[in-house]
Structures are given as C-alpha cells and as structure tokens.
Amino acid sequence: MTGIAVLETPTGWPAILLPRSAAGAGAADPADLDAAVRAGAFEGLRRAVRDLGATGTIAVVGASGLRGRGGAGYPAADKWRAAGGTAAPGRIVVANGYGADPASQTDQTLLEQNPFAVIEGLAIAAFAVGAEEAIIAVRTEATSAIRLLEAALAAASDAGFVGANVLGAGRHLDVTVRTVQGAYLLGEETILLKALEGKRGQPEQRPPHPATRGLRGLPTVVHNVQTLAAIPWILVHGADAFAKIGAADCPGTILVQIRGAGRSGVAEVPLGTPLRQIAALAGPLGAGRSVKAVLVGGPSGGILPSDALDIPYTFDALRAAGAHVGSGSVIVADDRACIVDLARVLTRYCADEACGKTIPCRIGTRRLSEIGDRLAAGTARAGDLDLLADLAADIVGSALCDHERLATLPLMSGMRYFRAELDEHLERSSCPAGVCHPVAMATSATH
Ligand SMILES: Cc1cc2nc3c(=O)[nH]c(=O)nc-3n(C[C@H](O)[C@H](O)[C@H](O)COP(=O)(O)O)c2cc1C
Ligand code: SF4
C-alpha cells in the first residue's frame, strides 16, 4: 500500500466507491475475496447474469443516470448501447485507471482500496455489451495498485467471477492488467487504446468513437475505473436509490483529490456538493489567511475565485464556470497566490504535454504559454489579453482531442475572474501578490 490519505467526510455522506473503513486505520486486506464477498461483492454481477440479462442490465444502468467519471460525464449506458448495437466479431471493455494527472491519486486510491468493485463493474459492463475481453489499464508507476489488482483478479478468476464460464452461465471473460507508461495525454481514451496496441500515443479522428470502432478495430467501451466501480452498487441497490444520491442531472459520488494548507488526501463526495464544502475538507488555512482561489480539474483546469465556490460540483456546472471535473483535483490557494503565476505554470505544462498532432493545439498552446510568461515577467504587450482571448477561441474546436479546449482553461478562467490582477501585470508590470519575478523584485518596495 502506498498509504495515500483518505479523508474523513461528514457523517451521512454515502460511500459507494471507497469502503468506509478505508477512511480510518486498519482497513481489511482489499484483495481478500472472502471478506469482500461477505460484504456483498459480486452480488451485482449475479443479479446482472442471473436476473436481468444484458438488456435489463443496460436498462438499469441507464435509469440510474450514471455518467462517466473520466471527465466529460458521458452517460454510461449510451456507450454500452452503441457498442452492443454493432455487428462485430468481438467487443472489448477497457477500465481506464491511468490517472493522467500526476497530482491526483483518486483512481489509484480506488484500485488500492476497492479492487473488486472495479473488477466486478468491468465484468458487468462486459456482460452487458457482450465482450469476452477486458483490460484494466494502469500507470506503470502505480506498483502497489498493480500488485493488489493482480492478486484480486487471480482470486476472482479462481472463484469463477471472471475467466471461463462466468458464474456458470457459459460466458467467458478474459481480463488482463496492462501497464502503460508515458505522458499526461495517455489518459485520453483514443491515445490509451493506441498505447495498448503498442503504437505511438496520438489520438484518432472521431467519429467513429471507440465504442463502435476501438482497440484492434473492435467496439471498445472505455470507462474510468470510478464509473465501473459504481455499477455493482447500482445493480444491488437499484437505479432509483442511485438516482437519489448527489445531483439530479449527475447522480452518485465521485473521488476528489484535495490539497490545501491543512490537509491533503482523497475523499468520496456526492456529486452536486457545493465546491466550497469540498474545499473545506482541506481544513483551515493558516492564521490570518483567506481563500483566494480554488484550482479545479487538474493541470488543464479552471481557477475559480472564492466568491464562485457555491457552485455545485457537477460536470455541467463546472464547465459553465470555466473549469471541469477532470482529474478530480481540488487545490485551495490562499491570498498569497498569484493567479498569473498559477495560470502560467499550468498552461506551460499543457503546452509541453500537447502531443503535437494538430497544429492549432501544438502552436496555439505554446503561444498561450508565452503570453502567460510575458505577463509574469512584466514584458506583456498592449493587446496581449485580447490576443489571449482570440487564440483561445481559435484553438477550441479545431483539434483531434479535448486537450486543446482544456488547455485554455487556466488562463481563460484567470482572465474571467481575476482580470484586475492580469491588468496589473500587463499595464504596471506589477505582481500584487509579490510572486512573479523579476516583477516582484522590481516592485517589492511597495509590499
Ligand atoms: C487530456 C485528457 C486526459 C485524460 N485523462 C484521463 C484519465 O487519466 N483517466 C480517465 O479515465 N479519463 C481520462 N480522460 C477521458 C478519457 O478520454 C475518456 O473520456 C474516459 O476514460 C471515458 O471514461 P468514462 O466514460 O468513465 O468517463 C482524459 C481526456 C483528455 C482529453
Ligand atoms: S488537440 Fe493537442 S493533444 Fe489533442 S491531438 Fe491535437 S495536438 Fe495532440
């Protein structure tokens, strides 16, 4: 175990993804199948195979309103219908456990704390879409998660939950754990599939989407591991019970990676929880400090000011606010932070990580990054903020994957919510927070 901290959440918050005991010390061995079965593991698979059938299983997941946790919030059952509706010689389900954001350990925590929920969700999804092959893709560096997962998979296979003749019902499911190593972009589904084929990690034009034409040309349902881990709960407790948890348009729970001055760790939160309440899980700031901004979604996330924190944590609300759920990262920055500096560092990372296949993203993110650098260095030119907005508008929608749009979020949200601070850097070559250099040095006498 890596000892990733799981934060306590308020009493009454549901625990669907992480076992409650994971929040405290002395949690049971997560790869102990007997203990997991005693706690209800694989009951959802039994219901799917023995009671509901494939169509009934898809109907229940559709009625639950489950949306993919990988970032975009696409309805899970729609993907299943698309894959199941194809006439293909085989289908594949891929659990995306890559965890692209190096600063977020949500998916790794799930794999370490509740591997059987991921395996069971994968088996249910495979049963529903008629797949006989499933892959769990994990980042090579997540060694403890891989060890646990492999032990859990071997136990599940010995017990007949996966492998030949699943639950004695005559269906076969071959599940493998595949490790992938590489850049941030590898978490994007078409790139991940390329990597699994042993090819260069660049995305493909869509449509066709992977659900109809994916790995080796076969219909491939790719789901984040959290999406899969919610499915057993839905089949056991019912679609209605799930739909009542969280937000009406976005039910269930999600894992967030919280970082702040007080506490850092992973927490399971109901979707729709006000961002302010989630940020509060980071604990109090130091004496005399106040929240200036919360960075939401990871490197290509949005920077939201303290007065915008009452928005519900949902895919649609965050997108409307200029951020996104992304990697589940929620970072609390206090009043000493400089928004230009934060946006500049994030944009540089996004530009460096762009795979380069599409020119507007490759060149555009680099130009955005340069504007961020000029603002921080006090060398920005008149018109740079207009150029920033024009560039961002030109980049968005012109590329092969969503990275181009997401890469504009740090600077664009900075401009939307902290315009005065950006103007100060541009017009007066001054950094109000005293962070940017050499500007800060030149103006330190004023602080
Ligand atoms: C730049 C980029 C990085 C991504 N990284 C991840 C990732 O690490 N894990 C993940 O599950 N999805 C990631 N996604 C989203 C996937 O492409 C895909 O939508 C997701 O795995 C589908 O799962 P879902 O249906 O459960 O949401 C990323 C997308 C982009 C554009
Ligand atoms: S949008 Fe960016 S990251 Fe995505 S394919 Fe194009 S260059 Fe690569």
SS3 379: coil
**Residue 237: φ, ψ to 5°:** -95, -15
Q: Give the residue ranges of DSSP H helices in 178-220.
A: 189-196
Q: Which two tokens stand for residue 130?
A: 């008629």
The reply to whether ligand 1 has any atom less than 6 angstroms from the CB of 96 is yes
The reply to whether ligand 1 has any atom less than 6 angstroms from the CB of 315 is no
> Percentage helix, strand, coil, to 5, in the chain?
45, 15, 40
**Ligand 2 mean position, distance from CA 351 (Å):** 10
Q: What is the pLDDT along the chain (447 residues), one digit of tens a residue?
A: 556 799 989 999 999 999 865 444 445 799 999 999 999 999 999 999 999 999 999 999 999 999 999 988 999 999 999 998 888 899 999 999 999 999 999 999 999 999 999 999 999 999 999 999 999 999 999 999 999 999 999 999 999 999 999 999 999 999 999 999 889 999 999 999 999 999 988 888 888 999 999 999 999 999 999 999 999 999 999 999 999 999 999 999 999 999 998 899 999 999 999 999 999 999 989 889 999 999 999 999 999 999 999 999 999 999 999 999 999 999 999 999 999 999 999 999 999 999 999 998 999 999 999 999 999 999 999 999 999 999 999 888 877 899 999 999 999 999 999 999 999 999 999 999 999 976 554 444 444
The reply to whether ligand 2 has any atom less than 6 angstroms from the CB of 81 is no
DSSP code of residue 49: I
Q: Which residues pair with 223 in a beta bridge?
A: 95
Residue 39 contacts residue 27 (beta carbons within 8 Å): no
DSSP code of residue 325: -
The reply to whether ligand 2 has any atom less than 6 angstroms from the CB of 358 is yes
| pLDDT for residue 25 | 42
**Residue 267: C-alpha distances to residues 114, 288, 439 (Å):** 14, 26, 38
**Ligand 2 mean position, distance from CA 185 (Å):** 9
Indicate the burial class of 281 (C-beta count within 10 angstroms; 0-12, 13-18, 19 or more): buried
**Ligand 1 mean position, distance from CA 297 (Å):** 12
Answer whether the bond into residue 207 is a cis peptide, omega within 30°: yes
Q: Which two tokens stand for residue 129?
A: 């879409």
**Ligand 2 mean position, distance from CA 398 (Å):** 9
The reply to whether ligand 2 has any atom less than 6 angstroms from the CB of 351 is no
Residue 288 contacts residue 35 (beta carbons within 8 Å): no
**Ligand 1 mean position, distance from CA 428 (Å):** 40
The reply to whether ligand 1 has any atom less than 6 angstroms from the CB of 98 is yes
Q: Which two tokens stand for residue 238?
A: 């019912």
**Ligand 1 mean position, distance from CA 405 (Å):** 14
Q: Which residue has the tokens 């079965």?
A: 37
**Ligand 1 mean position, distance from CA 401 (Å):** 11
pTM: 0.95
**Residue 275: C-alpha distances to residues 9, 227, 288 (Å):** 14, 21, 22
> CA–CA separation, 141 vs 160, rounded Å?
29
Residue 116 contacts residue 156 (beta carbons within 8 Å): yes
CB within 8 Å of 90: residues ≥ 6 apart: 131, 132, 133, 218
Which atom of ligand 2 lies at the shortest distance from residue 365's CA? 2
> CA–CA separation, 441 vs 68, rounded Å?
46
Which atom of ligand 1 lies at the shortest distance from residue 70's CA? 27
Nearest CA to ligand 1 atom 10: 70
Ligand nearest to the CA of 200: 2
Rounded to the nearest 10 degrees, what angle do helices 359-377 and 409-417 cross at? 50
**Ligand 2 mean position, distance from CA 138 (Å):** 22
The reply to whether ligand 1 has any atom less than 6 angstroms from the CB of 188 is yes
Longest alpha-carbon distance in the chain: 77
Number of helical H runs and strand E runs in the chain: 19, 12
Q: Give the residue ranges of DSSP H helices in 225-307.
A: 225-237, 239-243, 275-280
The reply to whether ligand 2 has any atom less than 6 angstroms from the CB of 406 is no
Phi-psi region of 177 (alpha: psi -120 to 50; beta: other; left: phi over 0): beta
Compute the Cα dihedral for 141, 142, 144, 145 and give only its sign.
negative
Nearest CA to ligand 2 atom 4: 401
Domains, the chain, ordered by start: 20-244 (3.40.50.11540), 250-334 (3.10.20.600), 339-446 (1.20.1440.230)
Nearest CA to ligand 2 atom 3: 354
- The full DSSP string for 398-428 is SSSSTHHHHHTHHHHHHHHH-HHHHHHHHHH
Neighbours of 26 (CB within 10 A): 5
**Ligand 2 mean position, distance from CA 361 (Å):** 6
